[in-house]
Chains A and B, each alone.
Chain A
Amino acid sequence: MKIKAVRRPETPEQARDWARELGEQALYVAGGTGLHFMTDPAEMVAIPLDRIGLRGVECSGRHYRIGALTPLADVMNYRAERWAFHETGRRTATHQIRNISTVGGNICRVFPWCDLPVALLALEATMVLLGDDGYAVPADDYFASQPARRLANGDLLLAVDVPVLEAHMGFGYRKEVICHSGFSLMTVAARLRLEGDRIRDARVAAGAALPFPARLKQVEALLADQPATPDTFARAATEGVREVAWKGREDWSDAYAAHAAAIAVRDALDRALTFARRRDW
């Protein structure tokens, strides 16, 4: 795509108004790193978002609010009690990309390798958007299809609310790449809620080796109300991913992607369990 003009708003409302006025020609630009992958020949008017604020992470008690313009590096550096999301940012691309790519850019146009949608699905996040007014969309609904289509009317992502993990909850993230800074080939995120030694419920999501990030509902069903043991995890990871249509990317065959999925699910669950049982906070 080609940028033929630039209009630089000072507020989210001004950005939205200009996007609506420009219609199909409007293109919000956050970090701009995604433009590299948007290869259709359309001529667009860029609306850079770097002056409208929406940057940083704040805790409200029940959730962390991450501004849409927060660079991934800041997400990775943020530390607080029961905050696990930095585990995802750490594994995204390279430092130079994490410095400029934003949370919003990663989830408003979801490329297959994007890390955050998978983690946000597992963490039961909520997206906060600006349309005529502000409105909120839960992750399951937001990632049901390509968000860029939902946002084509000029709606702007303002923030992401990530619930604070309760004491008996744990989160694990697993990403497979060919080399350190390579594109994701398989991503799995898991959130476990324990009750004593049993799993009360689980949210598990995968991406990269799927056409679009999605929850692994069969894995979740095999975990619910089961003892939190290696056997449970092994069974959920092998049986739960069997019916999923895995899609190998780069040099991976579909069969290898299916094999890798079972391992990644198990690893993510192991991490989530370790996290849930940590007593140091």
Chain B
Amino acid sequence: MNDPLTLHIRLNGEPRVFAADPDEKLLELLRRHGLKGAKFGCREGVCGACTVLLDGRAVYACLLPACLADGHEVVTIEGVGDQEHPHPFQQALVEAGAVQCGFCIPGMVLSAKALLDENPQPEDEEIREKMDGNLCRCTGYEKIWTALKAVIAAGGGGGEDAS
């Protein structure tokens, strides 16, 4: 290991200090610290299972050098709702029966949160554009789409979270 870097990251609303290998990706750092909601999927910027928010924007943590998170705000799925207080999209996914294996869902939720935080009433074209980096191998997307449209119809999210 090279000399570790010291990274100051506001993680899920809390200021945190991490020691990181200079070559480390943000996904590795997060999972090493027990935040396992972001998944190792393809590890090459295709599937979206590793999606987190960097300063409110959805990014692939598997590609992002951890050093680029220094001084920035990161939100993972652990910072977006919980069993008692789910994000409206999490609730809608449950109600629509839109989760099968669940592997893609943390990434889907974070992309949807970024979308709804920026525009609670997006048109279909904007939804497609901003959800195009999350693949689901189980559901065929239909119920995920239904869930997202239900949240939008109900006013567009803005659920409880730590960010």
Complex interface bits, B49-73 against A, C-beta within 8 A gives 1, otherwise 0: 0010010011110011101101110
Which residues on B sit within 8 Å (CB–CB) of A51?
Answer: 71
Beyond A5-B2, A48-B67, is A95–B129 a contact (Cβ under 8 Å)?
A: yes
Indicate if the CB atoms of A48 and B65 lie closer than 8 Å.
yes
- Tell me whether A149 is interfacial, beta carbon within 8 Å: no
Indicate if the CB atoms of B67 and A46 lie closer than 8 Å.
yes
- In the complex, the number of residue pairs spanning A and B with C-beta atoms less than 8 Å apart equals 86
Complex interface bits, A37-75 against B, C-beta within 8 A gives 1, otherwise 0: 000000000101011000000000000000000010100
The smallest beta-carbon distance between A102 and chain B, in angstroms, is 11
Which residues on B sit within 8 Å (CB–CB) of A99?
Answer: 54, 57-59
CA A159 to CA B27, docked complex, whole Å: 30
Indicate if the CB atoms of A97 and B2 lie closer than 8 Å.
no
Indicate if the CB atoms of B58 and A95 lie closer than 8 Å.
yes
- Tell me whether A227 is interfacial, beta carbon within 8 Å: no
* Number of residues from A at the complex interface, CB < 8 A: 28
Which residues on B sit within 8 Å (CB–CB) of A8?
Answer: 67, 70
Instruction: Give the residue among B68, B72, B111 with the most A Cβ atoms within 10 A.
Output: B68
Which residues on A sit within 8 Å (CB–CB) of B109?
Answer: none
- Tell me whether B133 is interfacial, beta carbon within 8 Å: yes
- Tell me whether A151 is interfacial, beta carbon within 8 Å: no
Indicate if the CB atoms of A36 and B23 lie closer than 8 Å.
no
- Chain A residue nearest to B58 (CB atoms) is A96
Which residues on B sit within 8 Å (CB–CB) of A46?
Answer: 22, 65, 67
Which residues on A sit within 8 Å (CB–CB) of B111?
Answer: 95-96
CA A231 to CA B46, docked complex, whole Å: 40
CA A5 to CA B58, docked complex, whole Å: 26
Complex interface bits, B20-64 against A, C-beta within 8 A gives 1, otherwise 0: 001100000000000000000000111010010010011110011
- Tell me whether A80 is interfacial, beta carbon within 8 Å: no
Instruction: Among A6, A29, A90, A96, point to the contact of B45 (Cβ < 8 A).
Output: A96
Given A29-B68, A32-B63, 6 further pairs, Cβ under 8 A: A6-B22, A35-B65, A71-B57, A90-B129, A96-B111, A100-B68
Indicate if the CB atoms of A181 and B68 lie closer than 8 Å.
no
CA A2 to CA B24, docked complex, whole Å: 9
The smallest beta-carbon distance between A78 and chain B, in angstroms, is 14
Instruction: Among B22, B71, B129, point to the contact of A3 (Cβ < 8 A).
Output: B22
Instruction: Give the residue among A46, A51, A95 with the most B Cβ atoms within 10 A.
Output: A95
- Chain B residue nearest to A100 (CB atoms) is B59
Which residues on A sit within 8 Å (CB–CB) of B133?
Answer: 93-97, 181
Which residues on A sit within 8 Å (CB–CB) of B60?
Answer: 33, 96-97, 100
CA A94 to CA B46, docked complex, whole Å: 8
CA A12 to CA B61, docked complex, whole Å: 26
Indicate if the CB atoms of A96 and B59 lie closer than 8 Å.
yes
Residues 1 to 39 of chain A near chain B (Cβ within 8 Å): 2-6, 8, 29, 31-33, 35-36
Which 3 pairs of residues, A with B, have the shortest CB-CB distance? Answer: A94-B133, A96-B133, A32-B65
CA A73 to CA B118, docked complex, whole Å: 13
Indicate if the CB atoms of A73 and B57 lie closer than 8 Å.
yes
Indicate if the CB atoms of A94 and B22 lie closer than 8 Å.
no
- Tell me whether B123 is interfacial, beta carbon within 8 Å: no
Indicate if the CB atoms of B68 and A32 lie closer than 8 Å.
yes
Indicate if the CB atoms of B57 and A36 lie closer than 8 Å.
no
Indicate if the CB atoms of B67 and A36 lie closer than 8 Å.
no
Instruction: Among B23, B51, B64, point to the contact of A2 (Cβ < 8 A).
Output: B23
- Tell me whether A180 is interfacial, beta carbon within 8 Å: yes
- Tell me whether B124 is interfacial, beta carbon within 8 Å: no
CA A2 to CA B22, docked complex, whole Å: 9
Indicate if the CB atoms of A5 and B3 lie closer than 8 Å.
yes
The smallest beta-carbon distance between A15 and chain B, in angstroms, is 14
- Tell me whether B143 is interfacial, beta carbon within 8 Å: no
- Tell me whether B99 is interfacial, beta carbon within 8 Å: no
Indicate if the CB atoms of A4 and B22 lie closer than 8 Å.
yes
Residues 67 to 123 of chain B near chain A (Cβ within 8 Å): 67-68, 70-72, 111
Indicate if the CB atoms of B23 and A181 lie closer than 8 Å.
no
Which residues on B sit within 8 Å (CB–CB) of A35?
Answer: 63, 65
- Chain B residue nearest to A49 (CB atoms) is B68
